[in-house]
Amino acid sequence: MKNLAKLLMILLLIAITFQSVAQIDFGLRIGANFSKQLYKSNLKDIEGFEDFEELGDIGGMKMLPGGNIGFVLDIDINAPVSIETGMLLNTKGYRAKVDKYKESVYLVYVDVPINAKYTFDLDGPKFYLTAGPYLAFGVLGKGTSFEEDGDETIRNEWDYSWGKGILQS
């Protein structure tokens, strides 16, 4: 939580600094996620999977629907280009079923994206594309495998994001 407080302070200072130079728009974001985890494993070392001889994708991975909610800051650099950042409460995870093995992992992160944003003004609604890195801080999670419940270990991660949308004025 100390890191989260530091991050909020840095975002606030950045917003104050840019206020004197650029136009900043504040907004609320609500969206849907469809997450799925892909990983490689040597299955023959896991009990019940001795027949698997080669390293390969674990089959049976299913998408886990979820959502995100939070606020965004759109820092105008030179229209139609801007920087978009903010804080989003974001769900992630996956479900897997292979023969007798079942697993589901439900994770909640606070994501801080730092995206370049390009807005298309088409005489009506505005369309935009975003892309860039994000930081994610795990805040809670739950994992279930076989018939045992337990807490899932959450780690901080570094990744990328992209998006698209429509702006209504």
Residue 91 and residue 129: Cα distance in Å, rounded? 22
Report how far apart, in Å, the C-alpha atoms of 97 and of each of 104, 144, 165 are.
9, 12, 34
When comparing pLDDT for 102 and 169, which is higher? 102
Average pLDDT over residues 65-76: 91
Query: What kind and span of H or E run contains 151?
Result: none
Side chain identity at 149, as an amino acid letter? D
- Please write the tens of the pLDDT for every residue from 74-85: 999 888 899 999
99 has a pLDDT exceeding 70: no
Task: Give the per-residue pLDDT at 56.
Answer: 46
Domain boundaries, the chain: 26-40+60-164
Shortest CA distance to 92 belongs to which of 47, 137, 125, 39? 137
Residue 150 is predicted with a pLDDT of 47
Evaluate the CA torsion angle 74, 78, 81, 83 in order and state its sign. Answer: negative
Q: Is 43 exposed, middle or buried (0-12, 13-18, 19+ CB in 10 A)?
A: buried
By percentage, how much of the chain surpasses pLDDT 90? 20
pLDDT for 156:
43
User: What pLDDT, on a 0 to 100 scale, did the predictor assign at position 88?
Assistant: 93
- What confidence tens digit (pLDDT) does each residue in 104-145 have? 778 888 999 999 999 998 888 888 899 999 888 888 888 776
Does residue 44 have a pLDDT over 70?
no
